[in-house]
Chain A
Amino acid sequence: MLARLAGLETEYAVRFTPAERGSGLRPRRPGNQVVYKALAAAVGDLVATRPGQRRGAEDGRIFTQTGASLCYESFPEAPDGGLIEGGTPECRGPSQLLCHQKAMDALLVRALPGCSARLAMLGHHGELGLIKNCRDAEGHVYGAQESYEAEVARGAGLVLYRAALVLALPVVLAQAALTWALVLVTLPVLLLAMIAAPLVALLVSGTRGLRALLALFDDGDVRVIRGLARALRPFGRVLFEPLGLCAGLPFRLAFRRQRRAMLAFLVSRPIVSGAGTLDDGEVFSLSEKGPVIRRLVRLVPSPEDRPLFETGNLLKDLLAPASLRLAPVARLFRARQRLQLGLADSNVAEVAEYLKIGTTALVLDMAEAGLLDDAPRLADPLAALRSLAADPTLRARVPVASGSPVTALELQRWYLERARRYVRESPVVALEARAIVKSWGETLDALAADPGQLVGALDWVTKRWLLEACGADAPPAARKKIDLRYHELGEGYLARLARAGLARTLVSAAEIAAAMEAPPADTPAARRGELIRDLAGSRLPVQVSWDSVRIGGRLRGKVIHLR
């Protein structure tokens, strides 16, 4: 019970306020990529780190001695507008995961002064902060994802899933060949253009023309890259849409039992795990991410296609042949895979974070044990999610396939009752499962009686209380600042409430300090962290990934597999 591997990925938004100079002019802020490089270096001053293998839209990934990871995630057309992504090491059990998430947050807070000093040396003086939330002031959404190791299918379902993967392989290989053909054709053309364009500009308009051309590639001016990205988009569609259709089949067959059993739980979960958010019209709702979920399962690798059940991790593995790697495709045939949830708000309140991962892990255990096959079926899950996530009164009712419409509290109570029975009747005594069930029940009771009792425990309750206590008569921008700064690490409003004893803590400072130093035992992170620590002083090139550590060069190097 609760023994599966689990992890959290969190995208932190960068806040940088440049210091005013004597002239009264405010200098330009550094790009987020520059901030990330300074932050990664500052983290490296505090703990042992080694570089990670680069994948997709991420840059400069590092792994730490605890097996955790940091990287910079951006789109090619906006290299400076990205986010800092932190991934916890793989953990066993919700309390261990909470502890390592708090350790990640604490490590970043400790690295901020070193990062600011590095930025100042580059001429960027100002105030730096990291915001652990999911939505900025203009409504752009990013945030958190949860991962749980889970059974992809069993019996005939597993055979069908694997058969669908085999059927998808020819398309995947054709797509890889097409990608490389495109690269081989466009690369010489681009090289030729890079040589010819300055010569033509020089010949036609002299040095003025050359300067104008160079200005197009000026730091921070990404018009050319944006233009190229726009021009290449149709090729991307041709390459990826057939893949999406083929990949859709195996991933439609993956985690079917858990998806069916968990859906009503996840749709109603924002009453416990929602971060709370204030929209343009000053309307307060429970979840930052809930309103932007467009699909139940991701079938194509597009950022607009935001799903409740994320399959981007599996799609990336399926696309690996395009980067000449076949091992990730082979791993997709394993019976246990990483089930990723896209519907997850970033939590700063510890009780909310703990209940989010604890109740979800418990529900997954029950789903795989076949105890939730009669779970409530929502008539329209996405409409239900929007309706429930928008309602801080908790009175909204959503239709179910059979019976009367239900509230989010009623749905959560249904799962809670099953969990109580599961824990009671389990032959194995799981103390943590009992603690989760107890806390879950108390939280639902408090939500039904008076959510105000949960100030300092649940994010949406605490934020709403803060908006009323500190911002009732404030202008909209100040209220929005409360919404955002509530989540800032270190100096944010929840952090200040916690220091004043107003936010409940579940993990001690000593446990967080230990989790900043050592990886969780009995996980792939344990070996990864151990190797990173052992190789800290070595001159050998080292490349770390979630699955392996390569020591030495690409040809003669040794690869140590972690799973």
Chain B
Amino acid sequence: MTPAPQMLPQQPEGPADPVPAHEALLREIAEDARREPERYLADSLVPNGGE
């Protein structure tokens, strides 16, 4: 059985402007978001949602 885990110390604050360091990732996300967004929205509908 697992004991309560030891929490990792929080990493230092991220860079004040994280955009330049991760421009490639942000470009990838921006492109992905523009790829058939209507289909993504339709394919994830939960018309009879839960509690």
Contact = CB atoms under 8 A, between A and B. Distances in A.
Interface stretch (A74-82, A247-255, A416-424): A74-82
Contacts of A526: 1
A140 B18 CA distance: 33
A526 B4 CA distance: 13
Interface majority SS (helix, strand, loop, mixed), chain A = mixed
Interface string A385-415: 0000000000000000000000000000000
A482 B1 contact: no
Nearest to B4: A96
A211 interface: no
A241 B8 CA distance: 49
Contact of A81 (B10, B43, B48): B48
B33 A140 contact: no
Contacts of B40: 15, 17, 481, 484-485
A456 B46 contact: no
23 contacts: A11-B50, A16-B43, A81-B48, A82-B46, A95-B4, A95-B5, A136-B45, A136-B46, A137-B41, A137-B45, A140-B47, A141-B49, A142-B51, A432-B4, A453-B13, A455-B14, A455-B18, A470-B33, A474-B34, A477-B37, A484-B40, A485-B33, A507-B5
A502 B45 contact: no
Contact of A470 (B5, B13, B26, B45): B26
Interface in B2-43: 2-8, 10-11, 13-14, 16, 18-19, 22, 25-26, 28-30, 32-34, 37-43
A466 interface: yes
Contacts, number: 174
Contacts of A334: none
Interface residues of B, number: 39
B17 to A, nearest CB: 8
A475 interface: yes
A284 interface: no
Contact of A481 (B13, B28, B41): B41
Contact of A85 (B11, B33, B44, B50): B50
A135 B27 CA distance: 26
Nearest to A516: B2
Contacts of A439: 10
A13 B44 contact: yes
A218 interface: no
Given A92-B4, A456-B14, A497-B25, A140 B45 contact: yes
A518 B28 contact: no
A174 to B, nearest CB: 27
A74 B2 CA distance: 33
Contacts of B19: 469
A521 B2 contact: yes
A140 B48 CA distance: 7
Contacts of A78: 47-48
A354 B19 CA distance: 26
A17 B43 contact: yes
A172 to B, nearest CB: 22
